[in-house]
Amino acid sequence: MPLSDAVGVLPGVGPKRVEALADLGIVTVNDLLFFIFRFGTTICRSGIWQRPLMVKS
């Protein structure tokens, strides 16, 4: 999978999650990997991955 692919191609990432990630500036697989690398420890400690993402309406 090229890093330039949209995050929507990842298993378990549906339209709502794509929209929520886009609000964080995460559009491509590369963006997601960079975000995890940059903020991974903080995210793991805060439990953000276990919480549902809120989509702005």
Alpha-carbon distances, residue 32 vs 41, 57 (angstroms): 14, 23
pTM: 0.64
Domain ranges for the chain: 7-50
What pLDDT is recorded for position 55? 52
Per-residue pLDDT tens over the stretch 37-57? 776 655 555 555 555 555 554
